[in-house]
Structure 1
Amino acid sequence: MLGEIAKAGRYLGQSVRLMMGLPDYDAYVSHRESTHPGEPYMTYEEFFRERQEARYGGAGKRGGCC
């Protein structure tokens, strides 16, 4: 029972982060390890910065819908 509550809490936390636009680093790492074993992957800071630039645009780029 307690394990199910903890699992529900993790899913809820992940859902809230995704709704707020925060990327899921753990999912990224799992994907990289399963599909690209032995290849390096970004640190959390690099991943976060790359996701923000992809969403909002980098230097001199305009992101978003308008």
Structure 2
Amino acid sequence: MGRLIVGVPDYDTYVEHMRRVHPERPVMSYEAFFAERLEARYRGGGGRCC
């Protein structure tokens, strides 16, 4: 939780969410996840499904 407060995305939470809620979708690698979160944060875009 503390990581979210300072804006650091939590990959383990993402993986758990994807496996539980979207098992048909592929899970991004850590590198792809982190890059996507950085882009979403600094470009003001979304990216979250829920």
Which is bigger in relative contact order (C-alpha 8 A, separation at least 6)? 2
Partner of 2:48: none
- What is the number of residues matched between the two proteins? 44
Cα distance between partner residues in 2 of 1:39 and 1:19: 27
- Runs of 5+ consecutive residues of structure 1 not aligned to the other structure: 1-13, 58-62
**Normalised TM-score (structure 2):** 0.73
**Normalised TM-score (structure 1):** 0.58
Q: Please identify which structure carries the higher helix content.
A: 1
For 1:42, the aligned partner's letter is M
- Fraction of identical pairs, as percent: 57
- Runs of 5+ consecutive residues of structure 2 not aligned to the other structure: 45-50
Give the CA RMSD over aligned residues: 1.4
Secondary structure, aligned partner of 1:40? coil
